[in-house]
């Protein structure tokens, strides 16, 4: 009897090993084949367990349980074309699904796989009541799970998250900036922050000969737009892409400079801390104001997007620079002569620099190389720190690429 049991246990171990190898081999392939493989292996292992001692067999996984194990979940977005068509296959030549020919805005579904047909990406999805069909991916917004496709994954891997933006930005860091990171890492005490800095260091390339020959030199707003894929999908964050459209005639002078006691008008850089102004409508500062305007308008209308956060102030009216910021937060700085009165925007890495302020990555404001600087260093180099926003706050939900009913 013991020999027979040992044989069954050995078989079960081999099956478990096979399942593990199969899972490793398919990642990150489409989810449906992985689920089918897992379900098949589960049933085989289940039969072995039943034969061991006649115990109660575990229940097989249900379709809903399969879909929830890491599946990407999306929501159908509103559009002037109305509900999105729910088809029997990818492509407009396929019939509509009987009983559910369309999916209305707000419907949440699990994504099983994706295919490109006729230049468009189609999602094979499952509704909460178990019905399956295909819809165009451009009519969806991300809800949860492992993002495997549109609406948050571009062809080069950027998915709109803060983490992917930082990963992408690090590819443009030159050798001297990498050496700066290495010095920080070597001097930093053991702990989670040092580990996080080590992860950044590992992603920064070693092949860039210097920090000006790194393949990217652009203005700060363009740099941030590219890292988050805003340029590739302009309506993702309209306030960041074209801030002039959202200033609504509101003056960029915030506040207007008051005359000096002798009657002279102060120069731009002589204003008190935080009193900054600019007439540039295509700048990082204009993007900050556009986000502020849109946030105020959304709040007045009972909405929640976009959202901006100003730093807390000390007793002297200066911002606290020591609070940690999430990876991928966008930080804004006021216009001064140091940044051609355009302001500045940078991306938080999620790591604290040795001086106790967040470590940032950015291209320099004057069309220069990509740099790694602490928040305190960047404020001294460019202008007063105004505040920040996150991708969730800066992006317009459900407006990735427009789309049609298809």
pLDDT number for residue 152? 57
Q: Give the separation between CA 141 and CA 221, rounded to whole angstroms.
A: 25
Q: Which residues have C-beta within 8 Å of that of residue 121, sequence separation ≥ 6? A: 114, 115, 136, 137, 138, 149, 150
According to the model, what pLDDT value does residue 184 have?
Answer: 94
Mean predicted confidence (pLDDT) in 21-36: 38
Angle at 182 between CA 179 and CA 183, to 5 degrees: 90
pLDDT at position 392 is: 75
| Cα→Cα distances 161→70, 156, 391, Å | 17, 14, 7
- For position 35, what pLDDT does the model report? 37
> Is the bond leading into 68 cis (omega within 30 degrees of zero)?
no
User: What average pLDDT does range 164-177 have in this prediction?
Assistant: 89
Angle at 404 between CA 403 and CA 406, to 5 degrees: 120
> Can you tell me the distance from the alpha carbon of 347 to that of 285, in angstroms, rounded to the nearest whole number?
15
CA dist 328 and 346 (Å) reads 9
pLDDT digits (tens, 9 = 90+) for 74-126: 888 777 678 999 999 999 999 999 888 999 988 999 999 988 887 778 999 99
Q: What is the pLDDT of residues 234-246, one digit of tens each?
A: 777 889 999 988 8
Mean of the pLDDT values across residues 295-310?
Answer: 84
* pLDDT for residue 33: 36
Is residue 10 predicted with pLDDT exceeding 50?
Answer: no
Q: How high is the pLDDT of residue 335?
A: 87
Residue 216's pLDDT band, with cuts at 50, 70 and 90, is low
Taking the C-alpha atoms of residue 158 and residue 142, their distance in angstroms, rounded to an integer, is 14
CA-CA distances (angstroms) from residue 196 to 171, 174, 193, 254, 324? 17, 19, 5, 38, 13
Kindly tell me if the per-residue pLDDT of 11 is higher than 50: no
Task: Name the residue with higher pLDDT: 338 or 183.
Answer: 183
Query: Which of 77-91, 251-265, 267-281, 282-296: highest mean pLDDT?
Result: 282-296
Query: What is the chain's mean pLDDT, rounded?
Result: 76
pTM metric for this prediction: 0.63
φ/ψ of residue 244, rounded to 5: -60, -30
Q: How far apart are CA 160 and CA 166, in angstroms?
A: 10
363-401 tens-digit pLDDT:
876 667 889 999 999 999 998 999 999 887 888 765 443
- In order, the DSSP letters of 8-59 are HHHHHHHHHHHHHHHHHHHTTS-HHHHHHHHHHHHHHHHHHHHHHH--PPPP
Cα(276)–Cα(262) distance, integer angstroms: 21
What average pLDDT does range 340-367 have in this prediction?
90
339 secondary structure, DSSP code: G
Q: What pLDDT is recorded for position 399?
A: 45
Q: What is the mean pLDDT of residues 166-180?
A: 89
**222 contacts: CB under 8 Å, gap ≥ 6:** 231, 363
Which of 347, 328, 351 is closest to 188 using CA atoms?
351
Given pLDDT bands bounded at 50, 70 and 90, which one contains residue 42? very low
Non-local (6+) Cβ contacts of 111 within 8 A are 31, 71, 72, 73, 74, 123, 124, 125, 145, 148, 149
Whole-number Å distance between alpha carbons of 380 and 75: 43
Q: Tens of pLDDT along 46-57?
A: 444 434 444 444
Of 70-84, 153-167, 257-271, 334-348, the range with the lowest mean pLDDT is 257-271
Residue reference for tokens 């100003």: 310
**67 has a pLDDT exceeding 70:** no
Q: pLDDT-based confidence at 201, cuts 50/70/90?
A: very high
Q: Is the pLDDT of residue 40 over 50?
A: no
């Amino acid at each position: 009897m013991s020999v027979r049991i040992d044989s069954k246990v050995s078989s079960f171990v081999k099956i478990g090993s096979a399942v593990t190898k199969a899972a490793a081999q398919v990642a990150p392939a489409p989810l449906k084949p992985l689920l089918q493989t897992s379900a098949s292996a589960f049933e085989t292992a289940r039969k072995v367990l039943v034969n061991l001692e006649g115990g109660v067999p575990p229940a097989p996984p249900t379709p809903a349980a399969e879909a929830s194990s890491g599946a990407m979940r999306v929501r159908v977005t509103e559009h002037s074309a109305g509900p999105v068509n729910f088809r029997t296959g990818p492509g407009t030549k396929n019939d509509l699904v009987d009983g559910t020919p369309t999916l209305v805005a707000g419907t949440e579904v699990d994504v099983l796989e994706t295919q490109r047909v006729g230049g468009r990406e189609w999602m094979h999805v499952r509704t909460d009541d178990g019905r399956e069909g295909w819809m165009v991916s451009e009519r969806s917004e991300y809800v949860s799970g492992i993002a495997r496709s549109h609406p948050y994954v571009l062809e080069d891997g950027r998915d709109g998250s803060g983490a992917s933006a930082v990963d992408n930005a690090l590819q443009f860091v030159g050798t001297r900036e990498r050496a700066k990171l290495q010095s920080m890492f070597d001097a930093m005490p053991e702990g989670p922050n040092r580990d996080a800095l080590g992860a950044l260091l590992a992603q920064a390339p070693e092949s860039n000969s210097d920090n000006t020959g790194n393949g990217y030199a652009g203005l700060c707003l363009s740099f941030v737009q590219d890292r988050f894929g805003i340029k590739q999908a302009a309506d993702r964050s309209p306030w960041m892409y074209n801030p002039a459209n959202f200033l609504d005639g509101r003056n960029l002078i915030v506040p207007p400079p008051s005359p000096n006691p002798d009657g002279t008008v102060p120069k731009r850089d002589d204003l008190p801390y935080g009193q900054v102004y600019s007439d540039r409508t295509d700048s990082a500062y204009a993007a900050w104001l556009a986000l502020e305007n849109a946030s105020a308008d959304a709040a007045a209308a009972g909405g929640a997007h976009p959202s901006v956060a100003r730093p807390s102030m000390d007793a002297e009216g200066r911002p606290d620079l020591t609070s940690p910021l999430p990876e991928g937060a966008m930080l804004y700085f006021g216009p001064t002569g140091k940044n051609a009165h355009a302001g500045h925007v940078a991306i938080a890495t999620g790591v604290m620099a040795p001086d106790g302020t967040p470590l940032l990555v950015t291209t320099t404001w004057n069309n220069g190389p990509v740099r790694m600087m602490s928040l305190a260093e960047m404020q001294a180099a460019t202008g007063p720190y105004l505040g920040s926003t996150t991708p969730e706050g800066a992006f317009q939900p459900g407006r990735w690429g427009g789309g049609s009913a298809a």
